[in-house]
Structure 1
């Protein structure tokens, strides 16, 4: 493997700390959490105490003020052990980032210290029954009522939905204004009128609580607006590259991991008087996947580098997301095949990885949307300029 030059010795030491945490606090319990459909709040408190949440939050807001690579380490080590339950990415990479980027001083001081400690769990409320990738089509409304807003509507497929204490909620404050009518709010889930629906029964990621959320005249003050009224869509667009980069990090990590599991398994499993690894088909399949995994890792690490320099644009993020997501799904499929019948058994991690993988082609923008972004840029460049990746 090509040596990853992004990480310093400090990052590597932190990785060992995170790895020990996963082995001690996550791996032994994850199977039960899958049956429960949720991880306990105690895990969030332990993760906060260990410094695994919101690593980049500045010290003035209760964080450690570290660089983005520390968050990457946490995400990678979660996925390396197949732990799809803890929704740390949504909490850290999206909710905390939105608050840091657009929040008032009061909002930051109220929520971020609690999020760093795991005392308050964050969620992102954007997807609706009739609006997925097309965020301009959301129907949840926030109507002005004196100095307050009344929020009515429904969200679906919301990660951390059963546990969340704060939601970055996308609403329409002006239904006639299209994208310019979208406003983000920070909603405290203890507010009257907020209700959690059922914990949704999914194909994979069984330990992660994913919910319907309902808002029935939820009254919030105007000070709960995150950023500016009518600027929510633009704010969301500025964070898409980061969200898609995180998906690429996940896919690159899982791809490497399942190849390793399969190499170990086939080296031990006997068939027709030899190991499965002795067959040329096995060797060629894994060799091809390994070559593609190295390429995906190099691309992903380059995108991380660009992101940290403030240079990762939405088109490059879409390319990374599309390539790594497609490889992720290909790798779990071909590696499960090399496990034979045992690969179809839930007790084997490759089976769970296969079920968990399918969402990657949908979450953070579907593969089809990624193709639209890339194609738009490809053809607009023929007309003298790179496309804007608005969706």
Structure 2
């Protein structure tokens, strides 16, 4: 898909990504096993092209390309390697809190290095004991003068074993009030930071997805992101403005990979003397998948376009993540029917793996049930916070993209 809510520079970027895929990614596929998940080669090469920091403004050494550009890169890579695209988006997500709520000191210190691909960030929120319930976080930070001491564990961290810095959300007061959490930037090499043994997972081949434990890790107060008690805002703004669109981009790539595999299979395999695609039942199934792909493209690119323009896009971002992930699962399930027994064997079909990858897009940044809950609350005017997209993606907000105009 070229030219949909994009400009010339976007399509030039798309061509660069496709060239990188052909020259660097495809020759290394499939990315299997623990060694592939812990290999930073490809993600660092992408970072050096500036693809992690596409949304970093030029004032901080970035390209200021915006969310449409970020969507293009992640979406295109996900078509051939959902795991690698998931790793890229995890690093993009890692800079969001720093960009949105970090001090000018932290921004000028770290954003240029991220923009130039010198370092990789990640976001570290969830724990084994709390999952997606952010106010259930038990990992703590206790203040001691101008320093903080961090203790506890974090789990299910994208790019945890290749990241150089972590945006960590920690408990800084008791209870479940709106000010019980605070975010910090913690260097991976700092004393007291320990990545735990990496485990294999069934989905997203090549994706680094692990745990980090903090033991009496001391950091300066200057590493705090946002005010004390603003940790939930750091996590929420990162998830809403970056995480949901990023995951929608990966799910869109998965959807297109499903369609590509189905079209190839149904046009090349013959039954009763004609290609499968010419059988009405199969043609109808392929048509449904094509419709899912088309609507997913519309959702993803429209949400990114609105975000780049500084419009209120919270509902569009939630809807994009929810609908595209659901459509990816539904399309993979339908593809299993089309492929039949072929779908059960990895050497015969990619569909079973794509089905697992599609399911992996559903829980993070809000499960389907949470997305519906939030959308329902928004429809009824019950959401407590102001629009995150207006607050942090607006061109009126200092340090964020100016309104796009021209090429």
> TM-score, with normalisation over the residues of structure 1?
0.91
Kindly state the Cα deviation for residue 35 of structure 1 after the two structures are TM-superposed: 5.6
Question: Structure 1 residue 98 and structure 2 residue 97: aligned?
Answer: yes
Higher deviation after alignment, 290-299 or 8-17? 290-299
For residues 249-307 of structure 1, what are the alpha-carbon distances to aligned partners after superposition, in whole Å with 9 as ceiling and x for unaligned?
33233223311221121100123433222221110111122223322322322222221
C-alpha contact (below 8 Å) 1:44/1:118 kept by paired residues: no
Query: Partners in 2 of 1:7 and 1:245 — Cα distance?
Result: 16
Structure 1 segments unaligned to the other structure (5+ residues): none
Q: What residue is the counterpart of 1:324 in the other structure?
A: 324
Q: What residue is the counterpart of 1:156 in the other structure?
A: 155
Query: Partners in 1 of 2:228 and 2:221 — Cα distance?
Result: 9
Q: What residue is the counterpart of 1:146 in the other structure?
A: 145
Q: What residue is the counterpart of 1:46 in the other structure?
A: 45
Structure 2 segments unaligned to the other structure (5+ residues): 387-407
C-alpha contact (below 8 Å) 1:26/1:83 kept by paired residues: no
Q: What residue is the counterpart of 1:264 in the other structure?
A: 264
Q: What residue is the counterpart of 2:335 in the other structure?
A: 335
Q: What residue is the counterpart of 2:383 in the other structure?
A: 387
C-alpha contact (below 8 Å) 2:181/2:230 kept by paired residues: yes
Q: Give matches, 1:7-26, under 5 Å.
A: 7-26=6-25
RMSD: 2.1
Q: What residue is the counterpart of 1:199 in the other structure?
A: 198
For residues 96-125 of structure 1, what are the alpha-carbon distances to aligned partners after superposition, in whole Å with 9 as ceiling and x for unaligned?
222122122221232222222333111111
Kindly state the Cα deviation for residue 37 of structure 1 after the two structures are TM-superposed: 4.1
Q: Alpha carbons of 1:63 and 1:37: their partners in 2 closer, same or farther (altered >3 Å)?
A: same
Q: What residue is the counterpart of 2:391 in the other structure?
A: none
For residues 336-368 of structure 1, what are the alpha-carbon distances to aligned partners after superposition, in whole Å with 9 as ceiling and x for unaligned?
332233322224433321221111110111111
Q: Alpha carbons of 1:389 and 1:323: their partners in 2 closer, same or farther (altered >3 Å)?
A: farther
Question: Structure 1 residue 289 and structure 2 residue 289: aligned?
Answer: yes
Kindly state the Cα deviation for residue 34 of structure 1 after the two structures are TM-superposed: 4.4
Q: What residue is the counterpart of 2:165 in the other structure?
A: 166
Query: Partners in 2 of 1:255 and 1:210 — Cα distance?
Result: 22
Q: What residue is the counterpart of 1:349 in the other structure?
A: 350
Higher relative CO (Cα under 8 Å, sequence separation at least 6) belongs to 2
Q: What residue is the counterpart of 2:361 in the other structure?
A: 360
Kindly state the Cα deviation for residue 313 of structure 1 after the two structures are TM-superposed: 4.1
C-alpha contact (below 8 Å) 1:18/1:52 kept by paired residues: no
Q: Alpha carbons of 1:157 and 1:102: their partners in 2 closer, same or farther (altered >3 Å)?
A: same
Higher deviation after alignment, 183-192 or 200-209? 200-209
Q: Alpha carbons of 1:389 and 1:258: their partners in 2 closer, same or farther (altered >3 Å)?
A: farther
C-alpha contact (below 8 Å) 2:163/2:188 kept by paired residues: yes
| Local SS of the residue matching 1:199 | coil
Higher deviation after alignment, 98-107 or 161-170? 98-107
Question: Structure 1 residue 255 and structure 2 residue 255: aligned?
Answer: yes
C-alpha contact (below 8 Å) 1:47/1:53 kept by paired residues: yes
Query: Partners in 1 of 2:306 and 2:203 — Cα distance?
Result: 31
For residues 125-179 of structure 1, what are the alpha-carbon distances to aligned partners after superposition, in whole Å with 9 as ceiling and x for unaligned?
1111122221011001000122211100111111111111100101011123533
Question: Structure 1 residue 244 and structure 2 residue 244: aligned?
Answer: yes
> TM-score, with normalisation over the residues of structure 2?
0.88
Query: Partners in 2 of 1:373 and 1:339 — Cα distance?
Result: 36
Q: Alpha carbons of 1:69 and 1:218: their partners in 2 closer, same or farther (altered >3 Å)?
A: same
| Local SS of the residue matching 1:205 | coil
Higher deviation after alignment, 152-161 or 262-271? 262-271
Kindly state the Cα deviation for residue 371 of structure 1 after the two structures are TM-superposed: 1.7
Higher deviation after alignment, 163-172 or 21-30? 21-30
